[in-house]
Amino acid sequence: MIQVAAVILTDENGRILICKRAQGASCAHLWEMPGGKLEPGETPEQAAVRECQEELGVQVVLGGVYAKTEYSYPDKTIEFTFFNGRIVSGEPEMRVHEEMAWVLPSQLKEYEFCPADVGLVQKLAADRQMERVQMPHTAAQLIRILHENGHEAWAVGGCVRDSLLGKNPTDWDLCTSAKPEEVKACFSGVYRVLDTGLKHGTVTVLADKEIYEITTFRQESDYADHRRPQQVQFVSSVEEDLARRDFTINAMTMDVDGTIVDPFGGQQDLQDGILRCVGEPAKRFEEDGLRILRLVRFAATLGFSVEESTKKAAMEKRHILRWVAAERSIKELNAMLCGGYAAPVVAEYGLVLACLMPQIEPALTHPYSEDKTLWEHAADTLSDAEQNPLVRWAMLLRDVGKPYCGEGYRGHAEVSAQIAQEILHGLKLDKAGRNTICQLIRFHGVRPARDAVNVRRWMQLLGPEQLEYLVQIWRADAKVRGDSEEDLQAFCKELERCKEQDCWTVNQLAVTGGNLLTEGLAQPGPSTSRLLEWLLHEVVEGRVENTRQALLEQARKWSE
Ligand code: ATP
Ligand code: MG
């Protein structure tokens, strides 16, 4: 009989999730997640990975399975501890039952539950660290060509960071000692070369259908408007180039053979999950306010903690954020909101975010419960929504109007929708996105009836995609209120049926404007579309079936 079981999973950042739970071997008992159960044909381990992914919205990899089993003999009881099905020595010490926590490999000792396991888990973590993503062939080829021409060249920045984290980098930026003209000379005739960023030392090379930016080692100075360096000086050493970069984890280079240049301890910070400025934080943020936003974004996406002096400076220098172009801000904010660790970061950095959207300020202090502000509560619920910026914005701003409303918060949804419109307009989010978010906020407090007519009305109003988003918000609010899931589940069931069988747009009607004209039921012009709209209304309300015959008959009534 297995009494204690644990599954060890690692996330995309190489951190480890230890899930421990007393009693029962199957993962249905391991997780306290809603609906936690084995799908047909699934092993408990596969279920754990799937459920963890669904619940946390992050990629997870199965690290190992840990279990404690008790065998009873007539005269005694013996406990065995297993790791990945093998017996390991040592008595598991289940200090904390029913615990689930992401930990960094370096923190494993604190989570010790069985001495023998710690070594195994650490090895597992180390093995994963080795699994860095290989440099793509073309990037390596470009570096080699620069080498052959007598220049230094490296992959640099985000791609090195992501590669060390075992994540596939989105793009591979290169840096080199070669001056831009020399870079061009190395590649012209071999690849297509664009010199759009030449002034700042960047040459763009189109190789094997990929775009590579190759930037000459440089220093920046005289930042104008806390954003743009006025002067760019080419320098000769890679270390000098790395010194201008924002965070230690972004200030590393990698050679084709995997050699790393890391003058600021980026690898250690990556291991420990720490975000730290290169150089003096206050000065670095003063130079370029965008770095403050990048900091918050990396915290929310990587789940790293922010080193104290970096955090302090970000708070102190937050007003510099208003110099950042809205187009840059919204990009960072969207990425931040969709981060797997957005909830605690958004809660903590409310004051920073308020520099970009002062309308949220009242929510930062408005009490929600004894120990939470309205803002903290909104941030908390972010992880209940999918990683889509539209839903997450709606989630975050849905109650932002409450402090502006009187007692009982009457009309707060509409007020919140208007504030959101204002905020997002200021941040230059596109109009379609803004409107979706505002609709979601406007209707977030509704408790929808589950009958077919009502579901079709919602479909007609919002369409399947937006309605799907709204359901997530309704679900999160139901969870907060402690309502049973039953009503919403029934609504969703009806929604699924409706999607398959029902009609909620004019295009889905069994008749077209052309049909109505040939039947002599409508005249050319806008009255035809009015008639179609009316027919749709009748179908949605369940008064007419969506068949050609029924609709033509109904149309006759309209003309009469
Ligand atoms: P992402 O995964 O979003 O691409 P990234 O770190 O690669 O993250 P990029 O904008 O592609 O971000 O920048 C590439 C590199 O340039 C960074 O890793 C960092 O070294 C440097 N960098 C980018 N923006 C700044 C900045 N505002 N200040 C200093 N260095 C920066
Ligand atoms: Mg990048």
pLDDT at 74 (0 to 100): 66
Q: Is the CB of 229 under 6 A from ligand 1?
A: no
Q: Which residues of 475-488 are buried (b: 16+ CB within 10 A; e: fewer)?
A: bbbbeeeeeeeeeb
Q: Which residues of 275-310 are buried (b: 16+ CB within 10 A; e: fewer)?
A: bbbbbebbebbbbbbbbbbbbbbbbbbbbbbbbeeb
Quote helix, strand, coil % in the chain, to nearest 5: 50, 20, 30
Residue 297's identity, in one-letter code, is R
Taking the centre of ligand 1 as the mean of its atom positions, its distance from the CA of residue 259, in whole angstroms, is 20
Work out the average pLDDT over 430-459.
95
Work out the average pLDDT over 534-539.
96
Taking the centre of ligand 1 as the mean of its atom positions, its distance from the CA of residue 344, in whole angstroms, is 23
Best probe residue, ligand 1, of 250, 310, 320 (max atoms within 8 Å of C-beta) = 250
> Could you give the dihedral angle defined by the CA atoms of residues 470, 473, 475 and 478, in that order, rounded to the nearest 10 degrees?
-130
Sign of the torsion formed by the C-alpha atoms of 321, 322, 325 and 326: positive
Name the average pLDDT for the chain: 85
CA distance 115 to 419: 54
Work out the average pLDDT over 88-94.
44
Confidence class for position 504, pLDDT limits 50, 70, 90: very high
- Residue 98, classed as helix, strand or coil, is coil
Higher-pLDDT residue of 555, 51: 555
Q: How many beta carbons lie within 10 A of that of residue 514, not counting itself?
A: 10
Give the best-scoring range by mean pLDDT among 19-28, 108-117, 220-229, 412-421: 412-421
Least confident window among 9-18, 114-123, 184-193, 484-493: 114-123
Taking the centre of ligand 2 as the mean of its atom positions, its distance from the CA of residue 104, in whole angstroms, is 24
Q: Is the CB of 246 under 6 A from ligand 1?
A: yes
pLDDT at 134 (0 to 100): 86
Q: Flag whether 55 is marked binding.
A: yes
Per residue in 123-167, pLDDT tens? 665 665 556 788 999 999 999 999 999 999 999 999 999 998 888
Dihedral class, residue 542 (left if φ above 0, else alpha if ψ from -120 to 50, else beta): left
Phi and psi (nearest 5°) for 70? -115, 125
Ligand 1 atom with the shortest distance to the CA of 158: 7
Spatial CA neighbour of 459 closest among 412, 418, 491: 491
Work out the average pLDDT over 378-399.
94
Ligand 1 atom with the shortest distance to the CA of 173: 14
162 is written with which tokens?
């992501």
pLDDT at 121 (0 to 100): 61
Confidence class for position 13, pLDDT limits 50, 70, 90: low
CA distance 410 to 460: 26
Work out the average pLDDT over 86-101.
45
CA distance 239 to 257: 19
pLDDT at 103 (0 to 100): 60
Q: Flag whether 33 is marked binding.
A: yes
Above 60 in pLDDT, residue 181? Answer: yes
Above 70 in pLDDT, residue 296? Answer: yes
Q: Flag whether 35 is marked binding.
A: yes
Confidence class for position 7, pLDDT limits 50, 70, 90: low
Best probe residue, ligand 1, of 223, 228, 246, 275 (max atoms within 8 Å of C-beta) = 246
Taking the centre of ligand 1 as the mean of its atom positions, its distance from the CA of residue 127, in whole angstroms, is 27
Work out the average pLDDT over 498-521.
94
293 is written with which tokens?
């936003």
Spatial CA neighbour of 277 closest among 233, 326, 242, 225: 242
pLDDT at 34 (0 to 100): 32
pLDDT at 63 (0 to 100): 63
Taking the centre of ligand 2 as the mean of its atom positions, its distance from the CA of residue 247, in whole angstroms, is 13
Confidence class for position 559, pLDDT limits 50, 70, 90: confident
CA distance 102 to 330: 29
Spatial CA neighbour of 495 closest among 453, 534, 523, 535: 453
What are the distances in angstroms from CA 163 to CA 53, 167, 252, 254, 267?
A: 21, 5, 11, 10, 11
Least confident window among 189-198, 289-298, 351-360, 398-407: 189-198
Confidence class for position 222, pLDDT limits 50, 70, 90: confident
Which residue CA neighbors atom 7 of ligand 1 most closely? 158
Q: Is the CB of 278 under 6 A from ligand 1?
A: no
Q: Is the CB of 288 under 6 A from ligand 1?
A: yes
pLDDT at 558 (0 to 100): 82
Best probe residue, ligand 1, of 219, 245, 334 (max atoms within 8 Å of C-beta) = 245
Confidence class for position 27, pLDDT limits 50, 70, 90: very low
Taking the centre of ligand 2 as the mean of its atom positions, its distance from the CA of residue 339, in whole angstroms, is 16
133 and 168 Cβ atoms separated by less than 8 Å: yes
Higher-pLDDT residue of 124, 422: 422
Confidence class for position 115, pLDDT limits 50, 70, 90: very low
Higher-pLDDT residue of 497, 9: 497
Which residue CA neighbors atom 11 of ligand 1 most closely? 158
Taking the centre of ligand 2 as the mean of its atom positions, its distance from the CA of residue 245, in whole angstroms, is 12
Spatial CA neighbour of 376 closest among 411, 337, 413, 348: 348
Work out the average pLDDT over 331-336.
98
pLDDT at 31 (0 to 100): 36
Confidence class for position 58, pLDDT limits 50, 70, 90: low
Best probe residue, ligand 1, of 264, 294, 324 (max atoms within 8 Å of C-beta) = 294
Confidence class for position 485, pLDDT limits 50, 70, 90: confident
Q: Is the CB of 250 under 6 A from ligand 1?
A: yes
Above 50 in pLDDT, residue 405? Answer: yes
Confidence class for position 50, pLDDT limits 50, 70, 90: confident
Ligand nearest to the backbone CA of 156: 1
Confidence class for position 17, pLDDT limits 50, 70, 90: low
Work out the average pLDDT over 322-343.
94
Which residue CA neighbors atom 24 of ligand 1 most closely? 246
Helices of type H across 57-101: none
Above 80 in pLDDT, residue 66? Answer: no
Taking the centre of ligand 1 as the mean of its atom positions, its distance from the CA of residue 159, in whole angstroms, is 10
Taking the centre of ligand 1 as the mean of its atom positions, its distance from the CA of residue 268, in whole angstroms, is 19
Confidence class for position 96, pLDDT limits 50, 70, 90: very low
User: Does the model's pTM come out above 0.85?
Assistant: no
Which residue CA neighbors atom 30 of ligand 1 most closely? 245
